[in-house]
Amino acid sequence: MRVAGWISLFMIVLITVLAFQGLIGFSESGPDWTLLNDSYFHNILAFSLKQALLSAFLSVVLAWPIARVLYYLPHVPALNSFLSLCLLCFVMPTLVLITGLVVLAGQVEWRLYGLNGILLAHIYLNMPFAIRVFYQQLKGIPDSSWKLSAQLKLNHWQRLRIIEWPSLKSSALMLLGFIFVLCFNSFAIVLALGGGPQSTTLEVAIYQALKYDFNIPEALMLAWVQLLIAGGLFLMVSRLGSANWLSVDTASDEWRPQVKGWRYWLMKSSYYLAWLVLLLPILALFFGLIQGDLSRISLASLIRPTLITMSLGLFSAVIGMALAYAMLNPIRQMNSLGQTRRRVFFEWLATHALVAPAMVVSVGLFIFLLQRIDIDRWGIVFVALLNTSIVVPFAVQKLKPRLYQFDAQYGDLSRSLKLQGWALLKIEWPFIQPVFLSTFALILVLSMGDVAIFSIFGSKEWTTLPWLIYEYAGTYRMAEASFASMLLLALCALILWLFEKAQTPHA
């Protein structure tokens, strides 16, 4: 099993290495470092940092009060549905969101393009994720802390300072870093809602350098800068090291402070407002649909792209889970042996696809393969493979805490009972099953939303549903774009719902 882990790690790293090899090999002059003194580069870097920083900060700050509402008012109507909606928002294909936001902006005459639109879309995608993480952390506060605080008659401020903040502090820092990296590397949203050097990020600048100018030295230089900043930050975030990431065992929560009076009403109003905000872009799709020419919508034209999207997603999710589980094996051993530095390094390697610019990896690999295979024929295989490498970090991040927890609780016992291989897996499976299934659903939905990789390797013959939405929206066929978006969103929601239902309570 450990050998499979090393092979998986090697394969994931190999994809990135080959991609960079493709770019470096093609351009003999290497990165164009003279750009460092260019005001064009300064503008792009400043905007990339500004939008990522603002997106991360606002997402976290807005998520916190909503998470508190969910925690303090556990009996508000449809709380579980709200949490499901949060998950759906986080994994929502970006083109679906963009279509919804464009229709919505058209209705209320907002100026969506530029920093405002980018921030809005980033907050919409990431705030719900932060809500879920904060909510899980708050649920981890043990009863005994609340009982003690009630007994000691601590006031609201003291509770916040002594109980809530310490439970959220590490998550808040990790969330800031994680969302910053996601937004720093954002592609589709900035491409669709940005424009001009004043609102372009490094990722989009790399795409433009490659697509319009085929200026590989410039693209390489931008890619290195992006990798250094995002990678460095992600390494720092990894070192913060809280294990409670996307999943956490909930402690017993029978006793928690009651909220009364104006605080109760303020919290309840915030909850309904959050519902409304998260639903608006989805509801806007209906407006897009009814305001367009419905007769142009052809169901038949959607069937093949839908099947292709699902097949690609399933492939990436199955292989992605297998790779993530396998590569966590040697990393778990390092964790058990207390080899912190090695563990952090290999964790970073396993999740590096999160920070390696997807556009650079796609184009680099494209150039590398161009002279070696018939890409027109095999392109779709590389869409599947690259999508898999993109979702592996999410699978690793979600599975890791649960597997570490298993090792901490039962590692010694399993070893003393000499459980190995299949026997160990049989014991481990019920423990990790709920997290495993929810992770599978998450990465399945994430990979179904890809546009960036398809834009490089895809072909008309293998058009996916997100690409079809992009084509419709690009030609202002908003009714068709809205309909296809609703179909994709419904599929994503169905998958999340089915897998949530299939989960058994934590072992």
Measure CA of the first residue to CA of the last residue in the chain; give whole Å: 24
The answer to whether residue 144 forms part of the interface with another protein (CB under 8 A) is yes
The answer to whether residue 107 forms part of the interface with another protein (CB under 8 A) is no
Q: Stretches 75-83, 160-168, 241-249, 389-397: which one binds another protein (CB under 8 A)?
A: 160-168
324, 401, 435, 504 from 406: Cα distances, Å? 16, 9, 12, 17
Size of the site for another protein (CB under 8 A): 16
Q: Measured from the CB of residue 344, what is the shortest distance to another protein in angstroms?
A: 23
> Which residue, among 296, 272, 275, 280, has the nearest Cα to 107 in the 3D structure?
280
The answer to whether residue 148 forms part of the interface with another protein (CB under 8 A) is yes
202, 203, 220, 226, 357 from 361: Cα distances, Å? 14, 11, 11, 12, 6
Among 1, 17, 38, 147, binds another protein (CB under 8 A): 147
The answer to whether residue 460 forms part of the interface with another protein (CB under 8 A) is no
Q: Stretches 2-10, 147-155, 375-383, 480-488: which one binds another protein (CB under 8 A)?
A: 147-155
Q: Distance between CA atoms of 454 and 488, rounded to whole angstroms?
A: 16
Q: Measured from the CB of residue 164, what is the shortest distance to another protein in angstroms?
A: 12
Q: Distance between CA atoms of 31 and 43, rounded to whole angstroms?
A: 19
Please calculate the CA angle 244-246-249 and round it to the nearest 5 degrees.
55
The answer to whether residue 166 forms part of the interface with another protein (CB under 8 A) is yes
The answer to whether residue 151 forms part of the interface with another protein (CB under 8 A) is yes
Q: Stretches 129-137, 161-169, 403-411, 469-477: which one binds another protein (CB under 8 A)?
A: 161-169
Q: Stretches 90-98, 142-150, 267-275, 458-466: which one binds another protein (CB under 8 A)?
A: 142-150
Nearer to another protein, 220 or 248 (CB): 248
> Which residue, among 410, 213, 445, 426, has the nearest Cα to 320 in the 3D structure?
445
CB 457 within 8 A of CB 369: no
What three-state secondary structure class fits 388? helix
Buried-state track 343-381, b at ≥16 Cβ within 10 A, e below 16: bbebbbbbbbbbbbbbbbbbbbbbbbbeeeeebeeebbe
Among 24, 154, 297, 314, binds another protein (CB under 8 A): 154
Query: Which residues ranging from 212 to 271 are in contact with another protein (CB under 8 A)?
Result: 255, 258
Q: Classify residue 476 by its DSSP letter.
A: T
Q: Measured from the CB of residue 153, what is the shortest distance to another protein in angstroms?
A: 5
Q: Distance between CA atoms of 67 and 271, rounded to whole angstroms?
A: 9
The answer to whether residue 34 forms part of the interface with another protein (CB under 8 A) is no
Reading the block at residue 1, the tokens are 């099993």
Query: Which residues ranging from 423 to 452 are in contact with another protein (CB under 8 A)?
Result: none
Q: Stretches 28-36, 155-163, 422-430, 433-441: which one binds another protein (CB under 8 A)?
A: 155-163
Nearer to another protein, 116 or 167 (CB): 167
Nearer to another protein, 195 or 257 (CB): 257
Q: Measured from the CB of residue 170, what is the shortest distance to another protein in angstroms?
A: 11
Note the residues at the interface with another protein (CB under 8 A).
142, 144-145, 147-148, 150-154, 158, 162-163, 166, 255, 258
